[in-house]
Amino acid sequence: MWSGILLGLAVYALFGLVPAVANTVVSFTDYALYPGAPVNFTGWSNYTSMLTSERPGFMQALVATVVFVTAVTLAQNVIALAVAHRLVGDTRWNGLLRVLVFLPIVLGVTIVGLVWILIFEPGQGPAASLWGLFGAQSSFFGSDTLAMPLVIIVQVWQNIGFSALVFLGGLNAISPEIYQAAEIDGVGRWRRLSQITFPLLAPAVTVNVLLAVVGSFTTYNLIYVLTEGQHGTMTLGMLSFTAAFTDSNLGYGAALGTVLFLMTFIVAIPLMMFLRHREARLLA
Amino acid sequence: MTATSIRPASRPTSTPKRRQTALLRRRRFWARLVTGLLIAVVFLAPVLYVAMIAFEAPAHFLRSPMTPPASADLSNFSQAWTGADLARELVNTVIYSVAASALSTVLALLIAFPLARRLVRGHRQLYTLLVIGLFLPLAYIPLFIEARILDLYNNMPGYIILHVGFGPSLPLGVVLIYAFVLAVPAELDEAAWLDGTGYLTYLLRVVVPLTRPALLITFLYGMLQVWNDIIGPVVLLAGTSANLFPVTRGIYNFYGLNESAYTIFAAAVVIASLPLVILFAGTQRQLIRAAVAGSVKG
């Protein structure tokens, strides 16, 4: 019995906990990818150099991250709520639609990214033909103005199924009797939505908002597939990855990763407290 | 969009009130139809477009990409199959995802059962330690260094082992299985102790069948994580003569090399996603449940 636990915990510690902690350690070194290069502790220099012109790109990445996180969180939750609202009820069509909405999650980031690259292919893609109808032209993921909005759209498209299912769970948990009672009392549709559905959905909102915030802060795999961080889509996560594995500077990449983690933490914890507080207020 | 929502409209309506509700229902029916179609189009159309151009001859694609081909052209598929080394990469992906996820499911069970039964001291602290794992960031940089040190870099067993431990699959599995074990009556344990049944035999014969849904969800979730990983192969595998890449990295590279051969590339995307679509069709109920259970991940 003990051997089973220890084996499991050893794997978990070695490849789960240790790397998470070691990231901070690496961030204080000049660890480089080149074989044989010596590793030195360099103190805070990886952190202080972020703000100087020695390593440009940090401030842009910060702005890009804030834009990405805000837009994804808002769009994902609003649209997912609308979709979930439509999918309440166990009809055959709803079952089919739920599967469709969930499909992008199963297909995964790579397939989804490549599908949208084909859709927004500047020469022959359907988006280009549509654009052409208005006499416009764009290189889409290669455009400085459109790349970011498109990456946001694809990220939302990819993850909406997840949020919608959480909302659906929340909506299903609301007992139909409440609605019936409200209907008998002559409560209108809009007021039913704002005074019954929204308050009772508060726990699902908490889960979904937190998931979207944490998820979009840390994600970069989709950005890697779509743009590799070009054309204004270099978020902090992507910058950390690029610094480490393209520019061979593991120490600086780790420092950026630590900053990202702390930022996520600083945003997520008060947000969680606020949402929990809101739940208590609405459900009281 | 059920049959019941249409029926009142066809029934003879006598009173004005009835007619009004009938009108309301019909409007509701159309609203549901339109929104339902909108959802279907938004989520299906991009995928269908790629499937369609995969069957278009390159010449047809250049002329009118948006019209379906008169006859299906399969040459894209054969060219993608040979050009992208897809057979090899699909086998790699299956090995990685099945092996890593099976191992992590077994380990999750080995941890979750004694913790749920409070058989070990500090079970509460250990459980907390595992829950923390649900929120840990994926630290690829130290993982890469570890892989180099432990000789797990750029080899098959290494890639599997690295995927067992990182990511939220193992802690998520523990949390899920833990909850299921609590529902297994403890009297069964005592009966087995008295019978002298061994620990592992007991786990296999009694606990596994009773926690099967949790085990299945853990396995499917983990498998999907490994299958769809694109950063892992970039960081933990190098392109060498023996092709160790999983299919995600394979088609991504294929795209980079054949940027203008869109129809062949689309065929490669279809081939690479087909196993997932089939698996999904077979297990969508469990997976959708797993998604809700795994909401912690995101």
pLDDT digits (tens, 9 = 90+) for A45-84: 889 888 887 788 899 999 999 999 999 999 999 999 999 9
* pLDDT classification of A193: cutoffs 50, 70, 90: confident
pLDDT value, residue B104: 94
Q: Which chain A residues touch B162 with a CB distance below 8 Å? A: 15
To test the contact with chain A by mutation, choose from B141, B193, B247 the residue with the greatest count of A C-beta atoms within 10 A, namely B141
Where are the domains positioned within chain A? 54-283
User: CB-based burial of residue A160 (10 Å sphere; 0-12 exposed, 13-18 middle, 19+ buried)?
Assistant: buried
* pLDDT classification of A35: cutoffs 50, 70, 90: confident
Q: Over pLDDT 70: what percentage of chain B?
A: 90
Say if residue B85's pLDDT is above 90. Answer: no
Say if residue B59's pLDDT is above 50. Answer: yes
Partner residue opposite B165 with nearest CB, options A11, A214, A253: A11
- Phi and psi, residue A41, nearest 5°: -80, 130
Angle at A108 between CA A105 and CA A112, to 5 degrees: 100
Determine contact, residues A85/A179, Cβ cutoff 8 Å.
no
* pLDDT classification of B101: cutoffs 50, 70, 90: very high
Span B119-123, average pLDDT:
87
Residue A1 at interface with chain B, using a CB cutoff of 8 Å: yes
Q: Which chain B residues touch A107 with a CB distance below 8 Å? A: 47, 228, 273, 276-277
Q: Which chain A residues touch B295 with a CB distance below 8 Å? A: 162, 166, 207, 211
pLDDT value, residue B294: 47
Q: Which chain B residues touch A22 with a CB distance below 8 Å? A: 139, 142, 145-146
CATH 2.40.50.140 fits A54-283, yes or no: no
Say if residue A141's pLDDT is above 70. Answer: yes
A156-165 pLDDT per residue, tens: 999 999 899 8
Residue A116 at interface with chain B, using a CB cutoff of 8 Å: yes
- Phi and psi, residue B184, nearest 5°: -85, 120
pLDDT value, residue B12: 53
Q: Which chain B residues touch A253 with a CB distance below 8 Å? A: 141
Check B126 against A9: CB less than 8 A apart.
yes
Residues 6+ apart with CB under 8 A from B27: none
What DSSP line would sit under A128-151, residue for residue? HHHHHHTT----GGG-TTTHHHHH
CB–CB contacts below 8 A, A to B: 232
Q: In angstroms, what CA-CA distances link A47 with A28, A61, A240, A260, B138?
A: 8, 15, 12, 12, 20
Q: Which chain A residues touch B259 with a CB distance below 8 Å? A: none
* pLDDT classification of B287: cutoffs 50, 70, 90: low
More confident residue, A284 or A61: A61
* pLDDT classification of B224: cutoffs 50, 70, 90: confident
- R_g (Cα) of chain A, nearest Å: 23
pLDDT value, residue B159: 92
pLDDT value, residue A69: 96
A88-125 pLDDT per residue, tens: 887 888 888 988 999 998 899 999 999 999 999 888 88
To test the contact with chain B by mutation, choose from A25, A87, A114, A262 the residue with the greatest count of B C-beta atoms within 10 A, namely A114
Partner residue opposite B165 with nearest CB, options A12, A125, A165: A12
Span B132-145, average pLDDT:
83
**Residue B273 Cα, gap to closest chain A Cα (Å):** 6
pTM of the model: 0.88
pLDDT value, residue A64: 95
Q: Which chain A residues touch B217 with a CB distance below 8 Å? A: none
* DSSP category for residue B86: H
Say if residue B8's pLDDT is above 70. Answer: no
Q: Which of A191-195, A277-281, B9-13, B75-79 has the lowest mean pLDDT?
A: B9-13
Q: Which of A116-120, A265-269, B65-69, B172-176 has the lowest mean pLDDT?
A: B65-69
Angle at A104 between CA A98 and CA A106, to 5 degrees: 90
Strand ranges in chain B using DSSP code E only, listed in sequence order: none
Say if residue B108's pLDDT is above 70. Answer: yes
Check A124 against B146: CB less than 8 A apart.
no
Q: Over pLDDT 90: what percentage of chain A?
A: 40
- Among chain B residues, the shortest Cα distance to A212 is held by B298
Span B87-115, average pLDDT:
93
Q: Which chain A residues touch B280 with a CB distance below 8 Å? A: 99, 103, 106
Q: Which chain B residues touch A167 with a CB distance below 8 Å? A: none
Where are the domains positioned within chain B? 1-45, 76-293
Partner residue opposite B40 with nearest CB, options A97, A125, A264: A97
**Tokens 């699902």 appear where?**
A204
pLDDT value, residue B296: 39
Say if residue A183's pLDDT is above 90. Answer: no
pLDDT value, residue B291: 58
Kindly report the average pLDDT of chain A as a whole number.
Answer: 89
Q: Which one, of A253, A69, A246, lies nearest residue A151 by Cα?
A: A69
pLDDT value, residue B190: 81
Span B169-198, average pLDDT:
85
The CA distance from B202 to B189, in Å, is: 8
pLDDT value, residue B289: 63
Say if residue B4's pLDDT is above 60. Answer: no
Determine contact, residues A180/A116, Cβ cutoff 8 Å.
no
Residue A105 at interface with chain B, using a CB cutoff of 8 Å: yes
- Among chain A residues, the shortest Cα distance to B282 is held by A99
Determine contact, residues A136/A53, Cβ cutoff 8 Å.
no
Fold annotation for B76-293: MetI-like fold (1.10.3720)
The CA distance from A12 to B108, in Å, is: 10
Check B39 against A101: CB less than 8 A apart.
yes
In chain A, residues 131-150 whose CB comes closer than 8 Å to chain B: none
Check B171 against A16: CB less than 8 A apart.
yes
